[in-house]
Amino acid sequence: MNSYRLSIVAKNVFLVFAFLVLQSCDSQKYNFAISQVVPAAEGSVEVRQDDNNNYEIDLEVTRLAGPERLSPAKKLYIVWVQTEKNGDKNIGQLKTASGFLSKTLKSSLKTVTSFKPTGFLISAENDAGVLHPGEQVVLRTAME
């Protein structure tokens, strides 16, 4: 009886593991290019298409200086998804903060969009409601 239960548990663990591996295979990860504006900044974005044909976006950036430290200074960062048919779309504000035990600046954004991404960029802006990226693009990635 115990070996039977152990067999069922092992089978269930294997199925869960296989499901997680298959789910992770559907996602694609892209790195941001080195920034001319903030060279220390590094980041990546992971994109996964969900069952509703939307795109789950998980973006992480480290060592991105606050926008007030740029020249000219700005108030905030905006993340843009670049699309083939709909241009650049504002998908949210990116805030930079340091951790409790670390001075490393970290930023992240998790969101969902119906637009198929062809690339991402992060721009420094003075208003969160802007409709198009300004001239101060700090990070950019392209997807193939």
User: Tens digits of per-residue pLDDT, 52-77?
Assistant: 999 999 999 999 999 999 999 999 99
User: Tens digits of per-residue pLDDT, 3-61?
Assistant: 666 667 666 666 556 555 555 457 899 999 999 999 999 999 999 999 999 999 999 99
C-beta separation of 55 from 113 below 8 A: yes
Query: Which are the contacts of 16, defined by CB distance < 8 A and separation ≥ 6?
Result: none
Rounded to an integer, what distance in angstroms lies between the CA atom of residue 80 and that of residue 101? 30
pTM as predicted? 0.78
pLDDT band at 96 (very low <50, low <70, confident <90, very high): confident
Q: Which residues, listed in sequence order, are joined to residue 42 by a DSSP beta bridge? A: 62
Burial class (CB in 10 A: 0-12, 13-18, 19+), 71: exposed
The pLDDT of residue 33 is 95
What's the topology of domain 28-142?
Immunoglobulin-like (2.60.40)
